[in-house]
Amino acid sequence: MAGLAESGSNPDVELLYDINGLAKDAPHWFDRVMEFVGEYGVVFALLLLVVWCWWSVRRRGGEDAASSVAALVWAPLAAGVAVLVNVPIRGFVERPRPFFDHQGLEVLVAGKTDYSFVSDHATLVMAMGVALFVADRRFGVAGIVLALFGGFCRVYMGVHYPTDVVGGFALGTAVALLLSPVAMALLTPLTRAVERSPRLGGLVSARGRAAGQDAVIPGARKESPGSEERGLAA
């Protein structure tokens, strides 16, 4: 398996050269932007999407707020679990980085000496994007689009074959979806407990917290009629 896609006639390699060839024709500054986006930018953007979605769910409130927040907590956890699952896969396949076997690639990031299949970045971003889709479809579509672009960046940078990225997408999707029921069963009771907390409830539902505060006011008003009656009796 270590010799996977070593032939230059392989469509995987041809697509690698086609996409990576764009880096050769692009200005230097653009390559530096793609390098940053491919290494850090997409992951950071996905994290911002998760926070944005959480803020939207929190403001909206409602009965499903706790389960929605639980799904959002699962998004970064799914990414971490998927990368851990990938560790033995990479060690089993032992596929070298494409620039070790193929000459003429424009490698934008030096020092990549670990194995290539499956792409950790593609696994991570797609797991997060799919888990975000489970929580909210609008934000999830944006997350999946970002993940697809992140995978493209990895090939553009010359550090992965296209099949490395596709494999990462498949692995991230499988982990996010297959483990989602277990994650929700564990996380939803936790977020419901947080929602009921007087101090932390606002992390799950801003409306729930406001409702809890309003519930104290009627109780205070109930005391005033009694006090007025006592005053009249006196």
Angle between helices 162-178 and 120-135 (to 10 degrees): 40
Q: pLDDT: is 63 or 219 the higher one?
A: 63
19-56 per-position pLDDT tens digit: 998 988 889 999 999 999 999 999 999 999 999 998 88
Average pLDDT for 123-133: 95
% of the chain beyond a pLDDT of 70: 84
Q: pLDDT: is 175 or 194 the higher one?
A: 175
Compute, in degrees rounded to 10, the torsion defined by CA atoms 153, 154, 158, 161.
-120
195 contact partners, CB below 8 Å, separation of at least 6: 65, 66, 201, 204, 205, 208
The pLDDT assigned to 8 comes to 44
Task: Report yes or no on whether pTM surpasses 0.85.
Answer: no
**Of 38-52, 91-105, 134-148, 204-218, minimum mean pLDDT range:** 204-218
Residue written as token pair 């970002």: 146
Contact, 122 vs 160, CB < 8 A? yes
pLDDT interval class at 215 (50, 70, 90):
very low
Which H helix or E strand runs over 68?
A: helix 65-93
The pLDDT assigned to 29 comes to 92
Average pLDDT for 126-142: 93
pLDDT interval class at 9 (50, 70, 90):
low
pLDDT interval class at 232 (50, 70, 90):
very low
The pLDDT assigned to 60 comes to 77
Residue written as token pair 């010799």: 3
Which of these, 49, 47, 37, lies nearest to 153 by C-alpha position? 37
75-87 per-position pLDDT tens digit: 999 999 999 999 9
pLDDT interval class at 131 (50, 70, 90):
very high
Residue 165 has pLDDT above 90, yes or no: yes
Q: Where are the chain's structural domains?
A: 11-206
Q: Which CATH architecture has domain 11-206?
A: Up-down Bundle (1.20)
